[in-house]
Amino acid sequence: MAFILKLLLTGAAAMLSAYILPGVHIDGFITAIILALVLALLNAIVKPILVILTIPVTIITLGLFLLVINALIILLADSLIAGFDTSGFFTALLFSLVLSIITAVLDMIF
Measure the CA angle with vertex 81, ends 76 and 83; round to 5°. Answer: 130
> Which of 103, 101, 43, 99 has the alpha carbon at shortest distance from 76?
43
Instruction: pLDDT tens for the chain, 110 residues: list them.
Output: 889 999 999 999 999 999 999 999 999 999 999 999 999 999 999 999 999 999 999 999 999 999 999 999 999 999 999 999 999 999 999 999 999 999 999 999 98
pTM of the predicted protein model:
0.93
